[in-house]
């Protein structure tokens, strides 16, 4: 049995970054898919620490909170920078990803039709910091921090891929980010995962909007 189990709804949502990480690191994992009906019945929700998913199991160790799970995997697989300074920068990136992911989720789930135009208009300002971060690290030819992949790279990649669906061409003004996405997506194990039915058949969000 794989040591890792992801307990989550049948969407990419807040778990696709950890799936990308595990796949790229050559790990297998089990999916426990939670249907809306099962969730609304109550017992599983009541058993979850914050009353929400994802829930992640590493053997007999259970974690909640998607970013805490990513950091745990980052420490497990050496994906948290080479020293404390790089680890701090990885946190800076990941917190920035979380800020934009929350804005994205608010649009998707609360104001898609009415807010999409303004969201897309403001998107360059939200993407520019990541272009800046890339430019400050080896001329944008490597990863977001340092010379090795980090958990923040997978989280950022997932967010950027989602935005390319929402607003095709959104990365065109950002040559470093565009090349970064292409470079990461070409990593053999990650490329295979992104082409797999498990990924392609899984909706991005739970309400059909993307």
* pLDDT above 80: residue 120: yes
Same domain, 88 and 118: yes
Tens of pLDDT, residue by residue over 171-181, are 999 999 999 99
Please indicate, yes or no, if residue 210 is contained in any of the structural domains.
no
Domain that holds residue 44: 4-78+192-201
Cβ(26)–Cβ(193) below 8 Å: no
CATH number at residue 168: 1.20.1050.10
Same domain, 133 and 105: yes
Q: How far apart are CA 10 and CA 78, in angstroms?
A: 29
Please indicate, yes or no, if residue 120 is contained in any of the structural domains.
yes
| pTM recorded for the entire structure | 0.97
* pLDDT above 80: residue 168: yes
Tens of pLDDT, residue by residue over 37-73, are 999 998 999 999 999 999 999 999 999 999 999 999 9
147-171 mean pLDDT: 98
> Within 13 Å of residue 208, how many CA atoms lie on the same side as its CB?
1
How many residues are recorded in the chain? 210
Please indicate, yes or no, if residue 207 is contained in any of the structural domains.
no
- Alpha-carbon dihedral sign for residues 89, 180, 134, 16: negative
How many domains are there within the chain?
2
16-41 mean pLDDT: 96
Q: Residue 174 has which token pair?
A: 């950002």
Share of the chain above pLDDT 70, in %: 100
* pLDDT above 90: residue 11: yes
Q: How far apart are CA 51 and CA 45, in angstroms?
A: 5
Q: How far apart are CA 179 and CA 140, in angstroms?
A: 9
Which are the contacts of 88, defined by CB distance < 8 A and separation ≥ 6? 81
* Complete DSSP assignment for 89-155: HHHHHHHHHHHHHHHHHHHHHH-HHHHHHHHHHHHHHHHHHHHHHHHTTGGGTS-SSTTS--HHHHH
CATH number at residue 55: 3.40.30.10
């Amino acid at each position: 049995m794989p040591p890792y189990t992801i307990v989550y709804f049948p969407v990419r949502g807040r778990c696709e970054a950890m799936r990308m990480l595990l796949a790229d690191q050559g790990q297998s994992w089990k999916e426990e898919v939670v249907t809306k009906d099962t969730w609304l019945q109550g017992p599983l929700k009541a058993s979850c620490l914050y009353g929400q998913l994802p829930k992640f199991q590493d053997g007999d160790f259970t974690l909640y909170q998607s970013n805490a799970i990513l950091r745990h995997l980052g420490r497990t697989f050496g994906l948290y920078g080479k020293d404390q300074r790089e680890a701090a920068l990885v946190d800076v990136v990941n917190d920035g990803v979380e800020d934009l992911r929350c804005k994205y989720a608010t649009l998707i789930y609360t104001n898609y039709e009415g807010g999409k135009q303004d969201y897309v208009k403001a998107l360059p300002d939200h993407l520019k910091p990541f272009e800046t971060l890339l430019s400050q690290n080896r001329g944008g030819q490597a990863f977001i921090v340092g010379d090795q992949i980090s958990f923040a790279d997978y989280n950022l990649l997932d967010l950027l891929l989602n935005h390319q669906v929402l607003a095709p061409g959104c990365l065109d003004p950002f040559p470093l980010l565009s090349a970064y996405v292409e470079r990461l997506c070409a990593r053999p194990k990650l490329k295979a995962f992104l082409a797999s039915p498990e990924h392609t058949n899984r909706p991005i969000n739970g309400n059909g909007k993307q």
